[in-house]
Amino acid sequence: MLDTMTDLKSLLKDPSLLETRAYIGGNWVEGDHGTFDVTNPARGDVIAQVSDVSRVQVAGAITQANTAQKDWAKWTGKERAAVLRKWFDLMIENQSDLGIILTAEMGKPLAESVGEIAYGASFIEFFAEEAKRIYGETIPGHQRDKRITVIKQPIGVAASITPWNFPNAMITRKAGPALAAGCAFVARPAAETPLSAIVLGVLAERAGIPAGVFNVVPSSRSSEIGKEFCENDAVRKLTFTGSTEVGRILLRQAADSVMKCSMELGGNAPFIVFDDADLDAAVEGAILCKFRNNGQTCVCANRIYVQAGVYDAFAEKLRARVADMKVGDGLEDGTIFGPLINADAVVKVQEHIADATAKGANVILGGNPSSLGGTFFEPTIVTGATRDMAFSTDETFGPLAPLFKFEDEDEVIAMANDTIFGLASYFYAKDLSRVYKVAEALEYGIVGVNTGIISTEVAPFGGVKQSGLGREGSHHGIEDYLEMKYICMSV
């Protein structure tokens, strides 16, 4: 159990990793606004007090990043690759400590946190390699005396705003391609989870990433910092992961400077089980997809559609499997469900359950706050879900699995696509023509077929419709941090 910073440091092999200051221009800096508290969601205790930087300090960080970026861009791709690889190596060497810090501030079970560190580090490893493969092209001249070449150059200073639910990976998924491309980076983490971002600065410094290339500006004033990112002409790229609501605000603010934006926004993932599915595999996939991070991911199943012929069997198998899973402190062995991030998250789950039962749904498992108190909540499954219920259109972002019944493919494809979101979708089926038809018909950036987990650094992650703009990960991911220049030469 945690209740002070001393307690947290005592759990670490290397207590010096637990830094609370801002990392600006290679210096560790106190905040102009003093500090803000970081609490452990499992107990609500303050585990750290972190530098609360001002908008002026963020402007200074951007200026230092802009200066550092000019030299960083002159490094060869191979030179940048070497120092990024060292950064990756340090993340893996300190994976256990980084996992403990992440669980302490975010609450997810330690096994998930340690897994997130590996997932986050994989983006640094992947884009260290991509740094060496930023190719241009030559194009046959349009006139006899013309020679055409195309080169790709780093966009400049990239600013990032990231959420609390993956406080390590959502930063490295952006910083990896940005630094590989030769950009400099200013990261503003969620106020709930700044420690995981700051420790990336500690390791960046140890890896030899030049001062000013990677900066971390923790702040309790998210909208103020967001405005600085959008209004400062030295920022050439804004990359955001979070809700669609905040994404819209940032896009409006960035429009004034026609700033290039990458947006990884909200989701409302359908998870479809057809009657020819391997039912046991579908149950395991639904558990991973729905309950990973306690349902607090943008790619979690938000609606589970089960074909009529297998509905009752699926519901009972799912109930039986989840009933035995442990709710508890993320640092305790065997915990599957940690606490939700805050009281508002608990309220939203309760509202969705109350709305559903008022409209005829049946709770077959859970349905209440956990007897542990605080923000712990029972994993919940409801049957009889219908499209008029709140979770049909609104992302629950918690451990609530609503089961909808459907009759045929056309009906479920129409229901699955009936949303403003389009990030991740999933279905279980064996018939090959069904797999092709459904995968092509789903209006989502990501389709998982016979799997509930789709997250990897090698694939392009991102949404369509109001789930976002751009892709992160894969060889496509570096393009968002490059500008293409066409050189026309008369010879």
Ligand X SMILES: NC(=O)C1=CN([C@@H]2O[C@H](COP(=O)(O)OP(=O)(O)OC[C@H]3O[C@@H](n4cnc5c(N)ncnc54)[C@H](OP(=O)(O)O)[C@@H]3O)[C@@H](O)[C@H]2O)C=CC1
Ligand Y SMILES: O=C(O)[C@H](O)CS(=O)(=O)O
**Catalytic residues, which ones?**
264
Q: Which amino acid, residue 306?
A: V
Q: Is 214 in the site for ligand X (CB under 6 A)?
A: no
Q: What is the dihedral of CA 175, 181, 184, 185, to 10 degrees?
A: -20
Half-sphere exposure of 442 (CA within 13 A, CB side): 27
Residue 455 binds which entry of ligand X, ligand Y, none, CB below 5-8 Å type-dependent = ligand Y
* Min separation Cβ 296 and ligand X, Å: 7
The answer to whether 170 contacts ligand Y (rule: CB under 6 A) is yes
Tally: H helices and E strands in the chain: 14, 22
Cβ 366 vs Cβ 399: under 8 Å: yes
Q: What is the DSSP string of 238-278?
A: EEEES-HHHHHHHHHHHHTTT-EEEEE----EEEEE-TTS-
Which member of 242, 270, 328, 470 binds ligand X (CB under 6 A)? 242
Helices 95-106 and 195-207 pack at an angle, to 10 degrees, of 160
Among 16, 138, 223, 386, binds ligand X (CB under 6 A): 223
Quote the CA–CA distance of 178 and 173 in Å, as a whole number. Answer: 9
Binds 3, which of ligand X, ligand Y, none (CB < 5 to 8 A, cut-off by type)?
none
> Distance (Å, rounded) from C-alpha 353 to C-alpha 350?
5
- Of 156-175, binders to ligand X (CB under 6 A) are 161-165
- Pairwise CA distance, residues 429 & 481, whole Å: 38
Phi, psi of 153 (to 5 degrees): -125, 155
Angular region, 25: left φ>0, alpha ψ -120 to 50, beta rest: left
Partner whose binding site includes residue 301, from ligand X, ligand Y, none (CB under 5 to 8 Å by kind):
none
Nearest residue (CB) to ligand X, 156 versus 194: 194
Considering only residues 222 through 241, tell me which ones interact with ligand Y, judged by CB under 6 A: 241
Q: Which of 62, 298, 435, 438 binds ligand Y (CB under 6 A)?
A: 298
> Is residue 250 involved in binding ligand Y (CB under 6 A)?
no
Residue 341 within binding range of ligand Y, rule CB under 6 A: no
395 binds ligand X (CB under 6 A): yes
302 scored as a contact of ligand Y (CB under 6 A)? no
Q: How far is CA 140 from its chain centroid? A: 42
Q: Is 375 in the site for ligand X (CB under 6 A)?
A: no
Per CB under 6 A, which region of 60-68, 166-174, 332-340, 386-394 contacts ligand Y?
A: 166-174
Rounded to the nearest 5°, which phi and psi values hold at 138? -115, 145
- 215 counts as binding ligand X under rule CB under 6 A: no
Give the span between the Cα atoms of 5 and 166, in whole angstroms. 21
Least Å distance between CB 242 and ligand X?
Answer: 3
Shortest separation between residue 371's beta carbon and ligand Y, angstroms:
28
287 vs 412 by CB, closer to ligand Y: 287
DSSP code of residue 210? P
Candidate list 423, 429, 435, 478; residue touching ligand X; CB under 6 A:
423
Tokens of 463: 């949404």
Is residue 265 within the footprint of ligand X (CB under 6 A)? yes
List residues binding ligand Y (CB under 6 A): 165-166, 169-170, 241, 264, 297-299, 455, 461
